[in-house]
Amino acid sequence: MNKTELVEVVAKEADITKAAAEKVLSAMISAVTKTVAKGDTVTLIGFGTFKSSKRAARIGRNPQTGKELKIAATTVPRFTAGAGFKAAVAGKKVAKKK
């Protein structure tokens, strides 16, 4: 599914126009991106958590030559799926809290 298809589904499910769904989706993506870029975490209960993670410097290999090369340390985005999302993908029913 690409962004256009997702906009169509959101518009249909929320009973709004495709233009409005596009604005909402773009605003959500922008907000998550800006928040994670600042180093904060975005948690959507039942769906998952977006956060940034530091990756240490390491030694890698060029697959063509086999020569070692240094890979610099960097910060990367991470997504951890929530329990509800994991259960839906696995085809299991989510237990509701009392």
60: Cβ–Cβ under 8 A, 6 or more apart, which residues?
Answer: 68, 69, 70, 71
Strands (E), the chain: 42-44, 48-55, 58-61, 68-71, 74-81
- What the block records as the tokens of 92 is 């299991």
**96 band by pLDDT with thresholds 50, 70 and 90:** low
CATH, domain 41-86, list 1.10.10.10, 4.10.220.20, 3.40.50.700, 4.10.520.10: 4.10.520.10
pLDDT in tens, 72-91: 999 999 999 999 999 999 98
* Whole-number percent of the chain with pLDDT over 70: 95
pLDDT band at 37 (very low <50, low <70, confident <90, very high): very high
Higher model confidence: residue 84 or residue 94? Answer: 84
Report the pLDDT value the prediction gives residue 92, as an integer from 0 to 100.
79
Percentage of the chain with pLDDT > 90? 90
